[in-house]
Amino acid sequence: MRAMLKPLIGHRGPEFKELFNKLLGKTKKVFETNGDMFILTSSGTGATEAALQNITDDGDKIIVNVNGFFSERLGEAIKAYGGKPVVLGSEWGKAPRVEDFEKIVKANPDAKALAVVYNETSTGVTVRALERLGEMCADRDMLLIVDAISILGGDKLPVDDWNVDICVTASQKCLMTPPGLAFISVSDKAWMKIQSKKVNRSYYLDLLMYQKYIQDGYTPFTPAVSLLYALNEACDMILEEGLPARYERHKICAEAVYNGMEAMGLGLYADKESRSHTVAAVNSPMGMDEGKVRELIRTKYGIDFGGSLGKAKGKMFRVGIMGNVGSADIMTTVSAIGSATSELGFKAKIDEGLEAARETLSRLPER
Ligand SMILES: Cc1ncc(COP(=O)(O)O)c(C=O)c1O
């Protein structure tokens, strides 16, 4: 926030060029890519739109996993840009198995891409098979497009090593920057598809135009300069901590929430093996209205949780574990959930919950 107070600079001048060039380098480190990187002035969906619009011709098949609200949206977006989504559905709270992906990819060899929401934020589910999906696409004429909006920077995603052709994320989640910036990485394989696309329907999000401008160090349209100051600071914090340490911290904090909830007697929405390290979905106890739980926690304990979306409406609430989180946040959160659910009539085992969270958090290194 303090970084954003700096006076603005002209976005066609040398200072901007220097800043932007530095930022491209830093974000590439966070994405672990040597491919091309673009920073867009939009929310995350802008980057998803750029990915899809720049590779899709009418009727192109794109395979997409649908297991929650945001992956449903991704399927809708594919349709909106003229593509034909081939849906691999799975139950909410679960991720499709590798074998399911293999089957659908084999059955649709003409699909142009496989689009995956790596972390389904609405259900707290991570597709742990992503690396394997990258290998699968690398062996074929198929792109791997990844929506990493709620995970990049908080869990492992080495874009080049995992053969991700297009990876999109947004500033406001694990990158700890206010909303308004979106990021998209593009591999050589993806560029070949972009260049061979027959119709270009995008102007604001035309990646070929971005590529032309970036060669001189600029963006084609006015960038959100203050947000770039914030991003610069956030990237420094991320890289100072180091990616492996950062991922481990998110993992331990998430496990502390999960263990705390279970010890307290609350249920978890996601399958154990695909539970996210950046967002924990907690079932509302005894059919209690999750909106009431969240409202009480917000007003009495000053913590804001995400509500339930789509099919999960009313059943659970979501705890964000993104960015600069640590023991203090997690212990306060676990305690607030125990207190609020007790106040609403659930016999939460608060002591057990806090002890389980504390014990898990003791694995965190000193900071
Ligand atoms: C997985 C996922 N995809 C897409 C989006 C949409 O991103 P935005 O609201 O930044 O456009 C979100 C937002 O939470 C998300 O979590």
Q: Which residue matches tokens 């969906």?
A: 45
Phi, psi of 64 (to 5 degrees): -140, 135
Amino acid at 318: R
Domains of the chain: 3-241 (3.40.640.10), 243-361 (3.90.1150.10)
Distances (CA, A) of 242 to 153, 160, 237: 10, 18, 9
> Do 186 and 166 touch, CB atoms closer than 8 A?
yes
> Do 93 and 126 touch, CB atoms closer than 8 A?
no
Q: If residue 182 lies in a helix (H) or strand (E), which one and from where to where?
A: strand 181-186
- pLDDT per position in the chain (367 positions), as tens? 999 999 999 999 999 999 999 999 999 999 999 999 999 999 999 999 999 999 999 999 999 999 999 999 999 999 999 999 999 999 999 999 999 999 999 999 999 999 999 999 999 999 999 999 999 999 999 999 999 999 999 999 999 999 999 999 999 999 999 999 999 999 999 999 999 998 888 999 999 999 999 999 999 999 999 999 999 999 999 999 999 999 999 999 999 999 999 999 999 999 999 999 999 999 999 989 999 999 999 999 999 999 999 999 999 999 999 999 999 999 999 999 999 999 999 999 999 999 999 999 999 988 7
Instruction: Give 173's contacts (C-beta < 8 A, 6+ positions apart).
Output: 149, 150, 151, 152, 153, 154, 278, 320, 322, 323
Relative to beta strand 113-117, strand 143-147 is: parallel
Ligand 1 proximity of 75 Cβ (cutoff 6 Å):
no
Smallest Cα–Cα separation from 74: which of 140, 174, 166? 166
Q: If residue 331 lies in a helix (H) or strand (E), which one and from where to where?
A: helix 327-343
End-to-end CA distance of the chain, in Å?
21
Calculate how far, in angstroms, residue 120's C-alpha sits from the geometric centre of ligand 1.
Answer: 9
> Do 116 and 147 touch, CB atoms closer than 8 A?
yes
Ligand 1 proximity of 50 Cβ (cutoff 6 Å):
no
Mutate to test the pocket of ligand 1, among 74, 149, 181 (most ligand atoms within 8 A of CB): 149
